[in-house]
Structure 1
């Protein structure tokens, strides 16, 4: 069944890995796709593959980390296909380092691509979608948002993606726009280049793609503000940051009062160290 027939979507970072799989799967379900990748040759290659299979696709080789380029990417979809129904914010970079050895240049790149790129594309898409009365934004997050060793910049960037997902979902619901995030587990180039990642080549990007197509489709109508964790065989919902009970109230708090509360009534609410809950 073609779940995306008549829809036009933009997928960033779609030259390889997860983005490429998302683009192919969306196209196979009838979507017209703008294939974006900072490596323009890869973007053109994937767009050509989709067209050779009878689908509709065009390439875009600009960086989403530039606000003007991100806006131009959204405009290109409207110009080429007459509309914009979906955006998949997949473009991202990662690197590992001990906290004391973090590289300022690499940290900045992570934030510019993963955070600003998602913000720039999302806000540009929201403007178009508000005018047309609906649409879907799918952000690609990561389980690292809950804290991953040697990945502070990446974890911070994906925590930001989770926060913007929740914020946009609330702001855009009244305009008929759904905003969700996926936190995929897949054997990609990023995973292969990270020696700390468990070797799981069976978890291919293609196994994750149906989740994104589902979120882009009308089958997910009414689902918004969610983060879905998926690796092809396991599907679950990640909890957004929220206040936990009990909420204690005093007219005034001393240092000793706080120590007593944290060691007493709040003790059961304390979170375990990230390593203990990393999956």
Structure 2
């Protein structure tokens, strides 16, 4: 039996790259798919390929950062397939800039697509799912949320998406709805942006095809992951891992009064060596009581 038989799933930014890989894999597992992309031609092509392979799909191009268009996208799934069981918030905008290079239009577009688009689609989908008492929202974050040169705005939006994931998971847990996020790693169109900005660094992830990330999306949309919610899961080539939630680090220091001098002494004595580096890194797992 296929893992997503009878499910109806919306996938944003599915005209190419990771989104296309997710759409093809989800359809192959039996789901009916609404293929969204800003580029209508790309969305139509992916939907046609899915149908040609024996799957069920319709294209619905729109700008997910527009509230009413996001609502119409979710409604298209309900109208076409009778319900919405899953949403994959994959649509994204990527640019690189140091603070002294940052352009306002790129900043706004990055925030609009990555954060506003994710939030808008998620809110509209969750309203349907809460009413039915079932459903899965799957957001897309990035390792760049942990800090990387020239990725401040993009990384900030992805960190915000992680926070959406944690908060929504708590908001809808009692309604039988799950919210998780994937942090994928693959060679996609983003590499061209890296190549223009960083030269040889644009060759990153050349051996990792977008399709290698698709099984994780299928798993998190399926009933196999019924016990998983509020998590950011990273798949990077041959490595599968959970990402940490923001947390308070030990030691937690106490003082009757925190003066400037007392804080300086605390850093000199206890905290300087505990400062956290930026970037993707590994830490020992902990369970908080």
The TM-score, its normalising length taken from structure 2, stands at 0.93
Q: Deviations over 1:81-129 (max 9, x none)?
A: 0011000000001111121110111000000000000000000011000
Q: How does 1:1-279 map to 2 (within 5 A)?
A: 1-195=1-195, 196-272=201-277, 274-275=278-279, 277=281
SS in 2 for 1:193: helix
Partners of 2:247 and 2:73 in 1: CA distance: 34
| Superposition CA RMSD, Å | 1.3
Asked if 1 retains the 8 angstrom alpha-carbon contact of 2:185 and 2:205, the reply is no
Deviation at 1:191, TM superposition (A): 2.0
Q: Deviations over 1:185-229 (max 9, x none)?
A: 100011233123443322000111000000000000110111111
Q: Give structure 2 stretches of 5+ with no counterpart.
A: 196-200, 283-289
The TM-score, its normalising length taken from structure 1, stands at 0.96
Asked if 1 retains the 8 angstrom alpha-carbon contact of 2:144 and 2:154, the reply is yes
Partners of 1:232 and 1:87 in 2: CA distance: 24
Partners of 2:262 and 2:132 in 1: CA distance: 54
Partners of 2:124 and 2:279 in 1: CA distance: 37
Asked if 1 retains the 8 angstrom alpha-carbon contact of 2:143 and 2:280, the reply is no
SS in 1 for 2:9: strand
Partners of 1:81 and 1:248 in 2: CA distance: 55
Deviation at 1:276, TM superposition (A): 8.0
Deviation at 1:249, TM superposition (A): 2.1
Q: Which moved more, 1:92-101 or 1:120-129?
A: 92-101
Deviation at 1:15, TM superposition (A): 0.3
Asked if 1 retains the 8 angstrom alpha-carbon contact of 2:146 and 2:279, the reply is no
